[in-house]
Amino acid sequence: MRDPALDTLMMALDLEALTPAPDHAVAFLRARADRALTGLGAASLTCEQSFAPERDRLEALGLKVEPELSAREAFERVFVLPTRQRQEARAELARAVLAARDGGIVLACAPNTEGAKTVETDLKALCGPVDTLIKNKCRAIWAVKDAAILNSALVAEWAELDAPRPVIEGEFVSRPGIFAWDRVDAASRLLMAHLPDTLAGRGADLGCGLGVLTRAVFERAPKVVAMDLYEAEKRALDLARQNLERFASAKAMTGVWSDVTRGIEGPYDFIVMNPPFHQGGKADRSDVGQGFIRAAARGLRGGGQLFMVANRHLPYEQTLNEVFARVEMIADEGGYKVIRAVKATGKGK
């Protein structure tokens, strides 16, 4: 599957003014994998990526990956693929500017349909004059970091736009860019309303986000002794640990920063999940949820239960019936369905 924004960014690097020299230190924020990146020299390239599937793809190319870049004013070139959420995207641009040395170049790229013109306006507000390359229905924008004209106050302000903060009447800590970052989404609310208080033993929350479902399990089912929290986005997992800290003295918890579709541990007595249905775009992708279902089936003990919620129209029933002995819809409301599935007895992990 092609990645037009990444392709356009790589095209911009063919321009003489942007091509890094062999001795240049380069950073790539929200990096995505492209074999051409290895041509920049792996020793001089540091990729920042907190999303586990992209981290895995970058590491498979032999690239250095960090979940969060800490270096400041250290890089000759800083690339960034801003996310769609406005506060997070502005914070990413500001951090890219902070990472570049004076005289270094910041290069951003986004699809036209996902705010490319806004990214151009924002980078101009931070750095002054910009140049652009428009290809593949995307816009690559770059600017030289010049301390004499840099809007340092705005850089500092925007760098904090995605900082963690209390949300949902102070019940949780979250930050822009996380799924449903400032609310409990309707699908999770429906699932929470149908979780039984008879859950017991060791469970897992696949795609735990802020820890909303795990908190509901702990509060409703006193016989649950442990939960493993799986989450692809490390920024969310760090917040989930913080949001569930008050349970830590009585319940065992382990956070796992990973791509669930590549497998989970176990065996678990039960699993809860609200699987994502899109990654890297707006189109629905049932394959991600199907991967979660298969991982859940492998991770449950024989007779273990899965409780999941999904958009009503997503075609998960065939996959569920392939890997579980019993499947039933226990709620159908507001465009969402809650499904309970039971693994056949006698089938281990």
Contact criterion met (CB below 8 Å) for 67 and 54: no
Contact criterion met (CB below 8 Å) for 284 and 311: yes
- 192 and 140, same domain (yes or no): no
Q: Where are the beta strands (DSSP E) in 112-244?
A: 131-135, 138-144, 165-167, 172-174, 200-206, 223-231
- 176 and 289, same domain (yes or no): yes
pLDDT reported for residue 347: 56
Q: Around Cβ 12, how many Cβ atoms within 10 Å?
A: 24
pLDDT reported for residue 2: 83
What would the pLDDT profile of 188-239 be if each residue is shown by its tens digit?
999 999 999 999 999 999 999 999 999 999 999 999 999 999 999 999 999 9
- 239 and 332, same domain (yes or no): yes
Query: Which of residues 93, 126, 159 is at a domain's end?
Result: 159
Q: Which helix (H) or strand (E) holds 158?
A: helix 152-159
Q: Which region among 43-52, 247-256, 293-302, 334-343 has the lowest average model confidence (pLDDT)?
A: 43-52
pLDDT reported for residue 43: 65
What mean pLDDT comes out for the span 157-167? 97
Is residue 348 in some structural domain? no
Query: Which of residues 141, 159, 177 is at a domain's end?
Result: 159
Whole-prediction pTM value? Answer: 0.93
Res 176 pLDDT > 60: yes
Residue type, position 142, single letter: W
User: What are the residues facing 45 on neighbouring strands?
Assistant: 26
CATH code (residue 274) = 3.40.50.150
Domain of 181?
Answer: 165-342
Model confidence at 71, pLDDT cuts 50, 70, 90, reads: confident
Is residue 72 in some structural domain? yes
Is residue 295 in some structural domain? yes
Res 313 pLDDT > 60: yes
What would the pLDDT profile of 245-286 be if each residue is shown by its tens digit?
999 999 999 999 999 999 999 999 999 999 987 544 444 567
Q: Around Cβ 291, how many Cβ atoms within 10 Å?
A: 19
Model confidence at 112, pLDDT cuts 50, 70, 90, reads: very high
- 148 and 178, same domain (yes or no): no
What would the pLDDT profile of 120-129 be if each residue is shown by its tens digit?
999 999 999 9
pLDDT reported for residue 40: 79
Query: Which of residues 103, 132, 159 is at a domain's end?
Result: 159
- 118 and 142, same domain (yes or no): yes
Is residue 227 in some structural domain? yes
- 24 and 104, same domain (yes or no): yes
Is residue 347 in some structural domain? no
pLDDT reported for residue 41: 66
pLDDT reported for residue 283: 45
Res 182 pLDDT > 90: yes
Relative to beta strand 138-144, strand 165-167 is: unpaired
Res 62 pLDDT > 50: yes
Contact criterion met (CB below 8 Å) for 133 and 8: yes
- 311 and 170, same domain (yes or no): yes
Question: Rounded to the nearest 5°, which phi and psi values hold at 90?
Answer: -65, -40
- 277 and 143, same domain (yes or no): no
Is residue 237 in some structural domain? yes
pLDDT above 90: percentage of residues in the chain:
87
Is residue 175 in some structural domain? yes
Res 349 pLDDT > 50: no
Contact criterion met (CB below 8 Å) for 88 and 176: yes
- 195 and 233, same domain (yes or no): yes
What mean pLDDT comes out for the span 96-108? 97
Tally of domains within the chain? 2
Is residue 208 in some structural domain? yes
- 185 and 331, same domain (yes or no): yes
- 123 and 223, same domain (yes or no): no
- 154 and 191, same domain (yes or no): no
Integer Cα distance of 290 and 109 in angstroms: 31
What would the pLDDT profile of 282-304 be if each residue is shown by its tens digit?
445 678 999 999 999 999 999 99
Q: Which region among 23-37, 139-153, 236-250 has the lowest average model confidence (pLDDT)?
A: 23-37
